[in-house]
Structure 1
Amino acid sequence: MIVIKRRQQMISTDEGYMRLEYFSENVAADKKRKEFDIKNHALCYTNQKPDFLFIGDSITEYWELNAYFGSGNHFLVNRGIAGDTTKYLKKRFYTDAVQLRPRYCILGIGINDSIELEGDYWKRLEPTPYNQVVATAKLHITEIVQQAKEENICLILTSLLPIHIPILMDERSRKNYIKELNEWLAEVAKKNNLIFVNYYATMVFPGTDKPLDKITYDGLHPNAKGYQIMATVLRNTLKKYEILI
């Protein structure tokens, strides 16, 4: 057996010492891999298909679905992972959604891609250009939509949520990103005959990009009241298509 050792790149500095690059990327999607593999195996083994599968990032993971939809006797599955991005959700979409053959798959992803607009001061990473961040997110979501179509998965697209986090280095760019991606998601849904659930419009003060008072835990993640708004919007939107949740 041949073992190839990769020499980690050392970076010369002008302060008279060498720095070492980071050994690996810290991927949020890995955090729940074992849990999801075990749960996915159970569903496949028992041939139980979810009625509604929610997949996305922390906004999905933290949603206590049965508290809002439990009275409908539907089989709900949550495949949200805090910190997930479009890049890695695309990579796990088959495993965590397609192979489980849900009746409906509710996708909420994209907000964490905008973190790249900030860069990383501690890792000395420069901000990624705005157009590049937007284009990359759109590309990955387009590929997810295409895969769902090819696999006959009924995909439901949802908007990104508003934010109010003044400590961000570039909150304005991230708000612009949210606005642009939401408009694009609505267009993609229309073009592909998909349902689009617009949480955003109901969670901001009219004519602004400011979240309603007391609907978030920290300026982004919904609290109980925020999730109640989302649940109502989702339920009312699906009802228009004679889908009950």
Structure 2
Amino acid sequence: MLATAGAPAAQQAPVATDPLFVAPADSLNPEQVRSLQQRLADWPQLDRYRADNAALPPPAKGERRVVFYGDSITDGWGRVQGTTFFPGKPYVNRGISGQTTAQMLLRFRKDVIALKPAAVVILAGTNDIAGNTGVATQAMIEDNLQSMAELARAHGIRVVLASVLPVSDYPWRPGLQPADKVRRLNAWIRDYARRSGATYLDYWSALANAQGGIDAKLAADGVHPTPAGYAVMAPLAQKAIDRALAK
């Protein structure tokens, strides 16, 4: 779930593989090495939205800003051709392709708290399961999600915790059989949302097929939503935001 290195935010789209994890080191070309060096120099990618955040004015009086926070599934929303991102709504996209919950936790203050939203929609965890930044147990994912939620609440930000989207295989890490891991993580997210007073946003039930994956019409590569997939997700997200803001 990675963005094309160096592309402007509006043009970024997920790609299927990460040479850092799937290719021998001696097979990387100079451009790939340069890209990976840049990523490692700014591991949480704090620089990705630095200029956008500086240019974003504070919420207007009465405006209830919402930050969508996640990985490539969020990053591509409104940026992938054929998709729109809640036109007319004061919603801000702060997804970064390829990120795990550990990276997201490190940039949470810059890309969420500093923007002074009324609510944050957190969608994360699938890249942890895929091992994008190394082995991550479910307990590690839970800790990171819980820390983000606690930081938000400490700053008066309503929390919407989204289920991880269904997936039966990762194109860039084939053979992991992640469907059951996704189910178990989602069960924890749902329970934690109930216990903590967060709002649970259930994408999984609306998108999953019988195998615990997602059909090609909704995600052509089995991971990243198509415009049809985002069309299913949008009203679910809006309903969850409305519930969160009404609390």
TM over 0.5: yes
TM-score (structure 1 length as normaliser): 0.73
Show the counterpart of 2:51.
Answer: 38
Report the identity percentage.
24
Deviation at 1:24, TM superposition (A): 7.1
Does the 8 A contact of 1:57 with 1:82 survive in 2? yes
SS in 2 for 1:171: coil
**Does the 8 A contact of 1:61 with 1:80 survive in 2?**
yes
Contact 1:29 1:81 in 2 (8 A): no
Q: 1:64 aligns with which of 72, 78, 100?
A: 78
Task: Map 1:77-156; keep pairs closer than 5 Å.
Answer: 77-116=92-131, 128=135, 133-156=137-160
Matched, 1:219 2:222: yes
Distance, in Å, in 2 between the alignment partners of 1:135 and 1:51 is: 31
Structure 2, unmatched stretches of 5+, are 1-32
Per-residue deviation, residues 52-111 of structure 1 (Å, max 9, x unmatched): 2111100000001882521xx321211000011111100100110001111111111111
Is structure 2 residue 231 aligned with structure 1 residue 228?
yes
User: TM-score, with normalisation over the residues of structure 2?
Assistant: 0.73
CA-to-partner distance for each residue in 1:130-182, whole Å, 9 max, x for gaps? xx51111111111111111111111111010011337644332x222211111
Cross-structure match for 2:196: 192
Q: How many residues align?
A: 205
Secondary structure of residue in 2 paired with 1:136: helix
Question: Are the aligned partners of 2:58 and 2:116 in contact in 1 as well (CA < 8 Å)?
Answer: no
Letter in 2 for 1:101: K
| Structure 1 counterpart of 2:58 | 47
- Which stretch has the larger CA shift, 109-118 or 58-67? 109-118
Quote the Cα distance in structure 1 between the aligned partners of 2:170 and 2:112. 35
3-state SS of 2:235 partner: helix
**CA distance in 1: counterparts of 2:150 and 2:140, whole angstroms:** 15
Structure-2 separation of matches of 1:223 and 1:208: 19
CA distance in 2, matches of 1:111, 1:143: 17
Which one has a bigger Cα radius of gyration? Answer: 1
Distance across 2 between alignment mates of 1:28 and 1:182: 32
How far residue 188 of structure 1 moved from its aligned partner, in angstroms, is 0.9
- The alignment's C-alpha RMSD in Å is 3.0
Distance 1:228 1:183 in 2: 24
Letter aligned with residue 216 of structure 1: A
1:159·1:196 contact (CA, 8 Å) conserved in 2? yes
Specify the code of the residue in structure 2 equivalent to 1:103.
A
With over 3 angstroms needed to count, the CA separation of the structure-2 counterparts of 1:87 and 1:233, relative to structure 1, is: same
Aligned counterparts of 1:28 and 1:159: Cα–Cα separation in 2: 31
Tell me how far 1:238 sits from its aligned partner: 3.9
